[in-house]
Amino acid sequence: MKLRGLRLDSHKSRPLERPIRVVPPPATLVLALDQGSGEDALPVVRPGDSVRTGSVVAAASGAAAALHSPVSGTVREIAVRPTPRGASRCIVIENDGRDDPVAPAAPVDWRAMEGTALIEHVAAAGTAGLGGAAFPSATKLALARAADAELLLLNGAECEPWICCDAALMRERAADVVLGAQVMLAASGAQRCLIAIEDDKPEAIAAIQSAARAATDERIEVRVLPAVFPLGAEGPLVAAVTGREVPHDGWPPQVGVVCQNVGTAAAVARLVQDGRPVTTRIVTVTGSGVKQPANVEACIGTPVGELVAACGGYTAEGARRIAGGSLTGRSLAGDDVPVTKGVNCILLATDADLPARAAEMPCIRCGDCATVCPAGLLPQQLHVAARSDDSAALARFGLSACIECGCCDYVCPSAIPLTVRFRAARERQHLADLERRRAREAKARYERHQRRLAEQAEAEREAFDDARRRARGPDSGGR
């Protein structure tokens, strides 16, 4: 399996010069129902309700994990607000500052628990993929259990430039990561755990290795990977560590692997230590636009502006706000956008950090994009297919396998915004698919309708004939 990708400047050293600092809970928290996975959790509170620290405010649903209040206070409103993924319905909570917990801290006796019961615990705590996807961790663990996955793969690769929250976590809280790995091994039924870390994080590697030794658990090992973007994405990571490929229409458990982020493991460790749900996360605040770049631990729902303020505020240079790294991060609308479970980094980038793109030129089919595509695609061919919206060609060249990592954009000498085009093409294809499915269903219902009308007509005719025969009586044949 060929590892394709980019070797990039990591830009990670500055925030790692300082320890993780804790941002105090703000006066008002905005809890986005879409925590980063693209689906909304179901709110279970109403405006005016009072909540306590750790109360459930929205229930899990599909790809959305349960959501808990990080503070005690009052629900002010449930309204659409700007979020890192654009906009979503949000539960706005006024913090009363008392931090009144819903239940006293109590450790979970996880060693005595069944795997399925542990998974329920993980689900109830609102544990979601803290690497960025925010997919419910319990769902993945349950899938792994059902598929008898043998390997728990903890993702500490953190391949994208600027982001270093996982590196900071592994340096400072390595024991939590290892404990979380043990709990998730028990929950998933996997036999061994590999913690994948890229070779540009020697301190994190050393910290995790010594924590694993301290835990005297032979099932847990560190796997050092080359620092190549996007090795931290799920598909490339599974391939890099195991040599197996996740089927394009399947899940990692189908090849015996369950992937979890190291931050998620630490969150699970905290859950079993004191029984508290996931209400905080570590966020990298970095870029030349902030005075003291650092990793901060903040409540879910804290506005980005508060994070910047905790890091000394903005520098004089104007900065763009990006949630995530320089390759796949999303631009933020403003300072009031809240942190969600999927936000690993707030990049405050000046023009010097991220120079403007050159003007777009025609594709010269140089194929540089294909040499870096981790999915083995031919972006130059997809580009042509996307331009003409040719469904057959888009399918043949594997649009659905695109992970939108941005590598093709990065190397394109013609500065073509390929990733944006592919995402748009994918959306159009998705709508066309929906339309086709709808037409197929309408056709089936129409055929049923026609059949039923024909059967009814037949039945009526027979009934009419019967009635006529009976009316004529037995001797009518002599007429």
Partner 1 sequence: MNATAILAATGAVAAIAAVLGGVLGWVATRLRSDPDALVERIDALLPQTQCAQCRYPGCRPYAEAIAKGEADIDRCPPGGETTVHALAALLDREPRPVDPQYGITRAPRVALIDEDRCIGCALCLPACPVDAIVGAPRLMHTVIAAHCTGCDLCLAPCPVDCISMVAPADGQPGRAAA
Partner 2 sequence: MDAALAQPPHVIAGFTVPRVMFQVLGALLPVLAVQIHLFGLRPLLLVAVAAIVALACEALALHLRQRSVRPSLRDGSVLVTAALLALAVPPTLPLWQLALGATVAVLLAKHAYGGLGQNPFNPAMVGYAVLLVSFPLEMTRWPAPGGAWDAMTGATALDTLRTGLRQSYTMQEIQAGPAFGHIGATGGEWINLAALAGGLYLLARRIVRWHIPLAMLAGIAVPAALFHVFDPGAHASASFHLAAGATMLGAFFIATDPVSAATSDRGRLVYGAGIGLLTWIIRAWGAFPDGVAFAVLIMNLAVPLIDRYTVPRIYGHSG
Kindly list the residues in this chain that would bind partner 2 in the complex (CB under 8 A).
235-236, 239, 245-250, 320, 322, 324, 326-331, 349, 353-359, 361-367, 370-371, 374-378, 380-381, 396-398, 401, 404, 406, 409-415, 417, 419-420
Q: Which does 35 bind (CB under 5 to 8 A by kind): partner 2, partner 1, none?
A: none
Residues 6 or more apart from 203 whose CB is under 8 A from it?
16, 167, 171
CB 407 within 8 A of CB 372: yes
Angle among Cα 364, 370, 371 to the nearest 5 degrees reads: 110
Q: Which does 442 bind (CB under 5 to 8 A by kind): partner 2, partner 1, none?
A: partner 1
User: Nearest distance from residue 289's CB to partner 2, in Å?
Assistant: 13
Q: Which does 455 bind (CB under 5 to 8 A by kind): partner 1, partner 2, none?
A: none
Does position 453 bind partner 1 by CB under 8 A? yes
Closer residue to partner 2 in complex, CB, 13/400: 400
Q: Which stretch binds partner 1 (CB under 8 A): 268-276, 337-345, 399-407, 434-442?
A: 434-442
Closer residue to partner 1 in complex, CB, 85/145: 85
Instruction: From residue 320, give the alpha-carbon distance in Å to each of 162, 298, 306.
Output: 14, 21, 16
Q: Which does 428 bind (CB under 5 to 8 A by kind): partner 1, partner 2, none?
A: partner 1
**Encoded amino acid at 344, one letter:** N
| Residue numbers 18-57 binding partner 1 by CB under 8 A | none
Does position 433 bind partner 1 by CB under 8 A? no
Using CA atoms, how far apart are residues 466 and 70, in angstroms rounded to an integer?
75
User: Nearest distance from residue 409's CB to partner 2, in Å?
Assistant: 5
Closest CA to 381 of 430, 411, 422, 413: 422
Q: Which stretch binds partner 1 (CB under 8 A): 205-213, 414-422, 424-432, 462-470?
A: 424-432
Cα 116 from chain centroid (whole Å): 23
Q: Which does 378 bind (CB under 5 to 8 A by kind): partner 1, partner 2, none?
A: partner 2
Helix (H, G, I), strand (E, B) or coil at 459: helix
Cα 72 from chain centroid (whole Å): 27
Backbone angles phi, psi at 56, to 5 degrees: -75, 125
Q: Which does 453 bind (CB under 5 to 8 A by kind): partner 2, partner 1, none?
A: partner 1
Closer residue to partner 2 in complex, CB, 331/476: 331
CB 60 within 8 A of CB 123: yes
Does position 80 bind partner 1 by CB under 8 A? no
**Encoded amino acid at 323, one letter:** A
Closer residue to partner 2 in complex, CB, 174/327: 327
Bond before 26 cis per omega within 30 degrees: no
Does position 461 bind partner 1 by CB under 8 A? no
Does position 457 bind partner 1 by CB under 8 A? no
Q: Which does 224 bind (CB under 5 to 8 A by kind): partner 1, partner 2, none?
A: none
Using CA atoms, how far apart are residues 75 and 277, in angstroms rounded to an integer?
19
Backbone angles phi, psi at 57, to 5 degrees: -110, -20
User: Nearest distance from residue 210's CB to partner 1, in Å?
Assistant: 48
User: Nearest distance from residue 437's CB to partner 1, in Å?
Assistant: 8
User: Nearest distance from residue 30's CB to partner 2, in Å?
Assistant: 21
Kindly give the interhelix angle for 165-172 and 202-215, rounded to the nearest 10 degrees: 40
Closer residue to partner 1 in complex, CB, 447/458: 447
Using CA atoms, how far apart are residues 94 and 146, in angstroms rounded to an integer?
41
Using CA atoms, how far apart are residues 314 and 306, in angstroms rounded to an integer?
11
Does position 431 bind partner 1 by CB under 8 A? yes
Closer residue to partner 1 in complex, CB, 1/87: 87
Closest CA to 126 of 187, 51, 42, 45: 42
Does position 454 bind partner 1 by CB under 8 A? no
Closer residue to partner 1 in complex, CB, 436/470: 436
Q: Which residues sit opposite 321 in a β-bridge?
A: 348
User: Nearest distance from residue 41's CB to partner 1, in Å?
Assistant: 17
CB 287 within 8 A of CB 293: yes
Does position 443 bind partner 1 by CB under 8 A? yes
**Neighbour-count burial of 275, counting CB atoms closer than 10 A to its CB (0-12 exposed, 13-18 middle, 19+ buried):** middle
Binding site for partner 1 (CB under 8 A): 427-428, 431, 434-435, 438-443, 445-450, 453
